[in-house]
Each structure stands twice: as C-alpha cells, then as structure tokens.
Amino acid sequence: MVRGSFAERSERGRRVRRFGPILHGRLQRVSETISAGAAGTWTLGDLTVNRIGFGAMRLPQHDRAFAADAASRDRDQAITVLRKAVELGVNHIDTAAFYFSRLRSANELINRALAPYPEDLVIATKVGPGRDSSGEWLPMATPQQLRGQVEENLRQLGRDQLDLVNLRVSGPGAITEQFEALATLRAAGLIRHLGISAARPDHLAQAQAIAPVVCVQNPYGLGFRSAQDALVRACGAQGIAFVPFFAIAGVGREAGGSGTENDEVLSIARAHGATPVQVRLAWALHRGPHVLVIPGTGSPEHLVDNVAAASLRLTSDDLTRLETVHQAEQ
C-alpha cells in the first residue's frame, strides 16, 4: 500500500486561508483556519480520524445519474473536491463500490484524486448490497459473494487492505453468516476493521459476538430518526463510533434537503453567523465525542462550509432549543 506524497501538499493546504463570502454571502469570515480537526478526533480501532469526514456518495450522482435527463457531475470538479477535503484536514472518507453512475464511480474518483494516499487517510467502504449495470439494486450478497465485493473495492481503490468495511444490513434478519464471512476476510488481512450500517441494536449484538465492531453507520440527524437516540448513547458507552448519514438531508435522504428550514435552526444560525447546515452538523457532533459526521457534496464551496462547522460551538441554550426540534420529528 503506497501512501504519502499527497500528504505534503495536504499539509500546506491546512495553513491559514483568507477567504470572503461563502455560499452567496451566508457565511462571512475574513480570516480563519478551517480544519476538520477543530471538532476533535476519535479512534476507529487503531486509526485516528478527525470527527468531520466526507461522504463520497454524491460525487458520481449514483442514484439520479441513471435517469436519461440527469446531468453528470464534472469529473474534474469531483477530483478537486476530494483534494480540497484532504487539504482541509479530512482524513475519513466514506465510499462504496455501489456508488457509481454511467460515467464514473466514487472509488475511481477517490483513487484518481488521492493516490498515493496520505498516511493518515482512512477510507471506509460498504458491502452487502450491490447494483447491476443499469443501477438497479441486487439482493443482499451471500457470504460467498462478499469476498468478491471486498476484492472489487480493493481493486477500484488500488489498495491491498481496506481500512474499514461496513456490512450494510438489509432488513431485520440475522447478519451472523455475512459478518462471519467478513471476519474471516479480516483474519486473512484483506480488511483492517469492521463495522455495520443501517443496523439495529440486535445486529450490533450479533456482530460483536463474532468480531470487534468499531462503528455503526446509520441514518440520523436533527429531527430525523430520533428513535436512534438510544443506540447513539449505547455506542458511546461502548466506545463505538456512531457515524450518521443524511445528517443534513434528513428525510430528503439522497435527494437532499427540502429547501425549507426550521425557524429555531435559522435563529440559532443567525446568532452564530453560521449556516443552517453548519448548525445541523454541529448538533450531530454535540451528541457525543464518538459521533463522526460524513457530509457529502460535489461543490468546493459547500465543502468548505461543511468543514467550517467543526469550529461551531453551540451553547447549552442552543442545544435545549434544538432538542425540542429533534423530539418534534416530522
């Protein structure tokens, strides 16, 4: 596994940057160091990551790009976003072999943009489901098929070992056989650490009985899936990272936010000179030191805005008001 040459360029990019209005003037900061490390770090097994990461799902527009009238993202811009993320201190990137469009895949973009990889970069991927060439979902992989999915991620990313593989759960059934297959691949050295995604508490218990689980990656956000609160707390008590996806989009999921925003979120954002997106990300980070966010975007400007949320410190009054929003989930 070759890493390192991009790290020197990344370090230069972490120095103080001066920039003007971002996102049409919503965020005005004259001089500031923006770093994903401002929110602190967490360890995934023996790998230390900054708590603001990056989700690669949107880069190839993997859902909508299959529509005949869908516009594919500019490849060069996607590469720019990935390199900018690393410059801003992001060292945790979430991806999957099933994040792809007709023209490109997230894994291919990551490989092209960042290889040889920085020493501290952790790439998490997912296995379990798959997609055919038209983008249609395939049934959950059998234990025997999981090795092929792992090897495909290795090939696409140009790695000889995957840092972290999450088993994406499909439905309420048992995951014992699939997780045992991944544990076998971990013992063989193809995988460093294991996690689960879209999982229930009983899935976590099943997985832990087989091999160490370093993270749970589930849909969760302010006012979205508040029933997950107990699992978030349980993960924290056990030292397991909780990695929410759709932390910004909420019920919008892959389609993104609805375009409207809660009045309390808007009020708190104005009070801090921040954006509603930053408030939502900061709220998620305040749920516990073990919570890692992975907002995704294909826009360099939105990327900077997201990473700047690492520095946003909500007050106890802010959190009380936002808890009311959260528990009033639509």
Residue 123 lies in a domain: yes
> Which two structure tokens, joined as six digits, stand for 319?
């959190």
- Which entry of 42, 54, 99, 245 is annotated as an active-site residue? 99
Q: Cis (ω within 30 of 0) for the bond into 116?
A: yes
Angstrom distances, CA of residue 7 to CA of 87, 114, 121, 176: 9, 9, 9, 39
Is 29's pLDDT higher than 50?
A: no
Residue 125's domain comprises 39-260+290-298
Q: In the predicted model, what is the mean pLDDT of residues 40-65? A: 88
Is 30's pLDDT higher than 60?
A: no
| Number of domains comprising the chain | 1
Is 94's pLDDT higher than 60?
A: yes
Residue 20 lies in a domain: no
For residue 41, report the phi and psi dihedrals to the nearest 5 degrees: -125, 165
Tens of pLDDT along 72-86? 558 899 999 999 999
Residue 103 lies in a domain: yes
Q: How confident is the model at residue 330 (pLDDT cuts 50, 70, 90)?
A: low
User: What is residue 251's predicted lDDT score, i.e. its pLDDT?
Assistant: 54
Tens of pLDDT along 201-256? 999 999 999 999 999 999 999 999 999 999 999 999 999 999 999 899 655 444 44
Residue 127 lies in a domain: yes
Residue 308 lies in a domain: no
What CATH number is given to the structural domain containing 134?
A: 3.20.20.100
User: What is residue 259's predicted lDDT score, i.e. its pLDDT?
Assistant: 64
Residue 294 lies in a domain: yes
Residue 321 lies in a domain: no
Residue 143 lies in a domain: yes
Percent of the chain with pLDDT over 90: 75
Which residue stretches of the chain are H helix?
A: 5-13, 75-87, 106-114, 143-157, 176-187, 201-208, 229-237, 263-272, 276-285, 300-308, 316-327
Is 101's pLDDT higher than 70?
A: yes
Is 272's pLDDT higher than 70?
A: yes
**Average pLDDT of every residue of the chain:** 87
Residue 117 falls in the annotated catalytic set: no
